[in-house]
Amino acid sequence: MIKTLEKARILIVDDDQGVLHSARMFLKQIFEDVITTDKPSEMISKLKTGIFDVVLLDMNFTKGEIDGKEGISLLQQILEIDPNLPVIFITAYGDFDLAVNAIKSGAYDFLVKPWKNQKLHATILSALKYRNSKNDLLKYKETANQFETDNNNDYKDFICESLAMNRVKDLIERVASTNADVLITGENGTGKEMIARQIHLNSVRSNKIFLKIDVGSIHENLFESELFGHEKGSFTDAKDKKIGRFELASGGTLFIDEIGNIDKKLQAKLLSVLQNREIFRVGGNHPIPIDIRLICATNQNLFEMVKLGEFREDLYYRINMFEMPIPSLRDRVDDIKPVALYYLDKFKRKYNKRRLKIPSLTIENLKKYDWPGNIRELKNSIERAVILESKDQIAVESIFPANQAFKKEKISNTLNLIENEKQLILNAIKKNNGNMTNAAKELGLERTALYRRIKKYKLNI
């Protein structure tokens, strides 16, 4: 039976080749990667170009020196590169004052040569726990604001009555249990982030983090650093190590919003990360494995962007394992009333106007409007109305400002043949609860002719 090695990189620095050899022979039986050097300058270059978990460092390198000043000076250089890296001093001189001075200077622990292997092993394991706890604390600080923001948003409530959105709800239930990457498409404000969170909440990763990246809000120059993180000193403003979103989201779900806005030159790096499931921090050479469920969203037609050469075809198919189109609010009129009432209840409590109601006439007028901003616009309109309304019932005028291009007339009041035909098709399908055969019969069409018209008008059924 092959023994599984501990996932850790140990760096041993000592001018005694015998010490290096014996320590390496023992530790390589326990840890994945054990590297040795007898040159302090080589140690510094290794630390700058790779990630280590523990350093074993001799305190004296000049012959005849026993005061440990060389080791303490090197310790300060190490902590400049990585403040959380545990350094264990090793020396042949077991002076108590020297040990105290080493710990005060920032060393994790102190070992006297010759040591017992069990003591060496236990000290390194303790240092690794310290290292992991410091990294966990850093990740917690990075994600604390995200959790606080999430708690103030409407992500757990899936409000729908329309046939179109109930179909989306069914797709969520079927896809969520898998680990498939999902591409959510739809206009701005249709609720793509809410759908992404519903997938996460219904998945096996639901007790892990859901982390969002809004591509449009990240400056191009900082994109790599935000996604993949960076090492201290990797560029001018990199004063501290930063953990990127991919690393923070490992174990959970990563949601990339408006992925169509990613610059073409960065798409190749994103593709490499998704294929290899590992990242390199900016300025780092050590691969960091990641375990994420990826959900992307866009309001653009990525397939057309691929044909125009604006989006990589291989990346498109990599993120589009399963596509989930979200219909606009004007194509799911049945959802307007329940969504409006949901936000009315929310904002009545927020602004202490608990007697407010939306009369039926106002609801009917809400259904006449196109809602180009979709759910987001409806939410903002209801909040504005709650603030403005001084009576117990919300009037249409409180929802729609006088200068707003309201008055989308009912289709039945227009002579436009195409618009009337669209509405007749939608009404027939709704009346027959989605039964296409009965809807076609009522419209006086063959079933195939009905499907041709649905495709022609791009109706979201």
Neighbouring residues of 101: CB distance < 8 A, sequence distance ≥ 6: 68, 72
**Longest C-alpha distance within the chain, in Å?**
104
Q: Rounded to two decimals, what is the model's pTM?
A: 0.63
- Residue 414: per-residue pLDDT: 54
The answer to whether 162 and 335 have CB atoms below 8 angstroms apart is: yes
The answer to whether 183 and 322 have CB atoms below 8 angstroms apart is: yes
Q: Find the length of the chain.
A: 461
Residue given tokens 């397939």 in the structure block: 303
H or E element in which residue 61 lies: none
| Structural domains of the chain, ranges and CATH numbers in brackets | 6-132 (3.40.50.2300), 163-326 (3.40.50.300), 330-399 (1.10.8.60), 415-456 (1.10.10.60)
- Residue 416: per-residue pLDDT: 66
> What's the pLDDT band for 148 if we cut at 50, 70, 90?
very low
Pairing of strands 229-230, 242-243: antiparallel
Alpha carbon 192 to its chain's center? 14
Task: Return the HEC string of 326-367.
Answer: CCCHHHCHHHHHHHHHHHHHHHHHHCCCCCCECCHHHHHHHH
What does the mean pLDDT of the chain come to?
Answer: 84
pLDDT greater at residue 407 or residue 454? 454
Task: Check residue 333 and give left, alpha or beta (phi > 0: left; psi -120 to 50: alpha).
Answer: alpha
- Residue 138: per-residue pLDDT: 61
Find residue 31's DSSP bridge partners. 6
Q: Which amino acid appears at position 145 of this protein?
A: N
The answer to whether 88 and 108 have CB atoms below 8 angstroms apart is: yes
pLDDT mean over 7-33: 91
Percent share of the chain, pLDDT over 70: 88
- What is the per-residue pLDDT across 53-72, written as a single tens digit (0 to 9) for each? 999 998 887 776 667 788 88
Distance (Å, whole) CA 349 – CA 234: 49
Residue given tokens 């409530």 in the structure block: 157
Q: What token pair was written down for 415?
A: 């002579």
- Does 50 have pLDDT greater than 80? no
Total Cβ atoms within 10 A of residue 254: 24
